[in-house]
Amino acid sequence: MKKVYTCFCTDNIHAGHLNIINNARKYGRVIVGVLSDEARIRYNRFPMASFEERIDMVRKIVGVDEVIIQHEIMYDKVIEEVRPDYVVHGDNWKTGVTQAIRENIISLLKKYGGQLIDIPYTYNEEIRRIDKQIKEKAMMPEYRRKRLRQLLKIVPIVKTLEVHSGLTGLIAEKTIIEHNGEFNQYDAMWISSLCDSIAKGKPDIELVDITSRERTIDDVMEVTTKPIIFDGDTGGLVEHFVYNVRSLERMGVSAIIIEDKIGLKKNSLFGNEVPQTQDTIEHFCEKIAAGKKVQLTDDFMIIARIESLILEQGMEDALNRARAYVKAGADGIMIHSRKKEPDEILEFCDRFRSGDKETPIVVVPTSFNSITEDELVKHGVNIVIYANQLTRSAFPAMQQTAADILRYHRAQEVDERLLPIKDIIRLIDAL
Ligand code: SPV
Ligand code: MG
């Protein structure tokens, strides 16, 4: 009997999937692959059904003869193992990033005379409604909040992009690339104090108040599903911090990072060029413990940021603080540096990891930007934050456009580097 293979990457089974299976049955024995979580989150929405639930769902479909796990987005391994006579798939992958998968399959099948069958994709009101429901669920606080902890268990490193508006949120949400056969997208979003302040034309000194910062979070949440890590600056007074933890947790934020500075906070990338005071270990531990005490769920994370390397207090101080903060209840450690080379960050990570295998480590490679994600993983880093690159790329582009319009007394010369009007008016999905 001929073998027919298809792969499902879905949280529910609807008429479209049943149509695929019914077509597949006409050609032979139906084997369905279920894409693993690790592979799926590189190019699709975070799964709302667990892997076991998804396997179970597919097993129950009448007409499915065998269910297997597909570990990789590209079909090389699975085709080698199964050697199907036919691969069937909805024809919706003829456009967009998934084209690369389709082309890869065609060339794999060609080697031994296998055949790809594109089934017209089923679009109807019911399917649209189901898709919308899943997206809505992904946006809800109770699902979004826990997603950072879920990601930490699945991915080698949580790739996090700075956002400060609905628009930048959409970029973090929707940017997916295929490069050399690998798919990639961001896992999480960072609400940077620097960029949230700059977007308002304000300095990064805790001047933009929490109500305004929460407004930014809300704008981002309105149009995205990915988890949010909030830059909580110093966390402020302990008496205020506890209320802010509650609010952020209730909104569905996954983590707050607070830095061990006190008094007038200045941006860390100034280092000791401006007066900045580090908090005492005791007082900062008190703040962490107070926050942990008031949070209501186990999902929310309080991450302690150590400024010892920024303020040139030495490696031993950084390590002592890290251990103390974890003991006080911190769910993660962020270590920061403004050195061009990553050496001190890597030394910290190696030494911290030798005594603590579990506590997540966060880094923000703005200055030490030559380091790759793979290298960070090797040194035990769990979350990487690209903390300001979106803002820094937008600013020179806008400034150049503003200057060129003045130069030419019209807008024609700048037009070819602009987003086409038809794209900007369609950028936001209608509800
Ligand atoms: C931010 O993005 O606001 C940060 C990171 O806190 S840094 O600017 O490097 O201090
Ligand atoms: Mg900040």
Q: What type of residue is 209?
A: D
201: phi > 0 → left, psi -120 to 50 → alpha, else beta; which?
A: left
| pLDDT, the chain, mean | 96
Model pLDDT, residue 230: 98
219: annotated active-site residue? no
| Residue 317 pLDDT class (50, 70, 90 cuts) | very high
Residue 91 has a CB neighbour count (10 Å cut-off) of 12
- Greatest alpha-carbon pair distance for the chain in Å reads 76
Q: What is the CA radius of gyration of the chain?
A: 24
- Do 81 and 144 lie in one domain? The reply is no
Specify burial of residue 199 (Cβ count, 10 A radius: 0-12, 13-18, 19+): middle
- Do 154 and 255 lie in one domain? The reply is yes
Q: Which residue has the tokens 């997603």?
A: 147
What CA–CA distance (Å, rounded) separates 220 from 167? 8
Mutation test residue for ligand 1: of 207, 228, 231, 258, the one with most atoms within 8 Å of CB: 231
* Residue 66: inside a domain: yes
Whether residue 160 has its Cβ less than 6 Å from ligand 1: no
- Do 378 and 341 lie in one domain? The reply is yes
Quick one: which ligand is closest to 206's CA? 2
**Cα-Cα end-to-end distance for the chain:** 46
- Do 94 and 169 lie in one domain? The reply is no
Q: Which ligand 1 atom minimizes the distance to the CA of 197? A: 3
CA of 304 to the centre of ligand 2 (A): 13
Model pLDDT, residue 295: 97
Q: Which ligand 1 atom minimizes the distance to the CA of 387? A: 2
CA of 337 to the centre of ligand 2 (A): 13
Quick one: which ligand is closest to 265's CA? 2
Tell which of 102, 129, 156 closes a domain: 129
* Residue 339: inside a domain: yes
Q: Which ligand 1 atom minimizes the distance to the CA of 196? A: 3
Q: Which ligand 1 atom minimizes the distance to the CA of 194? A: 3
Model pLDDT, residue 122: 85
- Report DSSP state, residue 276: -
| 220-261 pLDDT per residue, tens | 999 999 999 999 999 999 999 999 999 999 999 999 999 999
3-state secondary structure 86-147: EEEEEHHHHCCCCHHHHHHHHHHHHCCCCEEEEECCCCCHHHHHHHHHHHHHHHCHHHHCCH
| Residue 428 pLDDT class (50, 70, 90 cuts) | confident
Q: What type of residue is 129?
A: R
What CA–CA distance (Å, rounded) separates 28 from 1? 6
* Residue 134: inside a domain: no
Model pLDDT, residue 231: 98
Whether the predicted pLDDT of 431 surpasses 80: no
Question: Which of 85, 204, 279, 331 is flagged as catalytic?
Answer: 204
* Residue 34: inside a domain: yes
CA of 234 to the centre of ligand 1 (A): 12
What CA–CA distance (Å, rounded) separates 195 from 211? 16
* Residue 248: inside a domain: yes
User: Averaged over 202-227, what is the pLDDT?
Assistant: 97
| 253-303 pLDDT per residue, tens | 999 999 999 999 999 888 888 889 999 999 999 999 999 999 999 999 999
Indicate which CATH number applies to the domain containing 81: 3.40.50.620
Whether residue 197 has its Cβ less than 6 Å from ligand 1: no
Q: Which ligand 1 atom minimizes the distance to the CA of 338? A: 9
Whether residue 331 has its Cβ less than 6 Å from ligand 1: no
Number of folded domains that form the chain: 3
Model pLDDT, residue 427: 82
- Do 40 and 55 lie in one domain? The reply is yes
| 81-102 pLDDT per residue, tens | 999 999 999 998 888 888 999 9
Per the CB < 8 A criterion, the answer to whether 360 and 349 are in contact is no
What CA–CA distance (Å, rounded) separates 262 from 328? 18
Atom 10 of ligand 1, residue of closest alpha carbon:
268
- Do 32 and 180 lie in one domain? The reply is no
Tell which of 129, 156, 184 closes a domain: 129
Whether residue 191 has its Cβ less than 6 Å from ligand 1: no
CA of 362 to the centre of ligand 2 (A): 14
Per the CB < 8 A criterion, the answer to whether 375 and 343 are in contact is no
Whether the predicted pLDDT of 156 surpasses 80: yes
Indicate which CATH number applies to the domain containing 350: 3.20.20.60
- Do 329 and 417 lie in one domain? The reply is no
| 362-380 pLDDT per residue, tens | 999 999 999 999 999 999 9
What CA–CA distance (Å, rounded) separates 258 from 22? 54
Whether residue 101 has its Cβ less than 6 Å from ligand 1: no
What CA–CA distance (Å, rounded) separates 370 from 348? 17
What CA–CA distance (Å, rounded) separates 18 from 134? 19
CA of 231 to the centre of ligand 2 (A): 6
| Residue 25 pLDDT class (50, 70, 90 cuts) | very high
- Do 197 and 277 lie in one domain? The reply is yes
- Do 248 and 209 lie in one domain? The reply is yes
* Residue 190: inside a domain: yes
CA of 275 to the centre of ligand 2 (A): 16
- Do 373 and 397 lie in one domain? The reply is no
Mutation test residue for ligand 1: of 164, 196, 267, the one with most atoms within 8 Å of CB: 267
Name 402's Cβ contacts closer than 8 Å, sequence gap at least 6. none
Mutation test residue for ligand 1: of 268, 273, 334, 390, the one with most atoms within 8 Å of CB: 268
- Do 109 and 185 lie in one domain? The reply is no
Q: For residue 263, report the phi and psi dihedrals to the nearest 5 degrees.
A: 80, -155
* Residue 124: inside a domain: yes
CA of 274 to the centre of ligand 2 (A): 15
Whether residue 267 has its Cβ less than 6 Å from ligand 1: yes
CA torsion 16→18→23→25, rounded to 10°? Answer: 160
Q: Which domain holds residue 314?
A: 140-387
| Residue 328 pLDDT class (50, 70, 90 cuts) | very high
Tell how many helices (H) and how many strands (E) occur in the chain. 18, 17
* Residue 135: inside a domain: no
| 93-151 pLDDT per residue, tens | 888 888 999 999 999 999 999 999 999 988 889 988 988 889 889 999 999 999 999 99
Model pLDDT, residue 332: 98
| 47-68 pLDDT per residue, tens | 999 999 999 999 999 999 999 9
- Do 379 and 411 lie in one domain? The reply is no
User: Averaged over 369-394, what is the pLDDT?
Assistant: 98
Whether residue 78 has its Cβ less than 6 Å from ligand 1: no
Model pLDDT, residue 429: 79
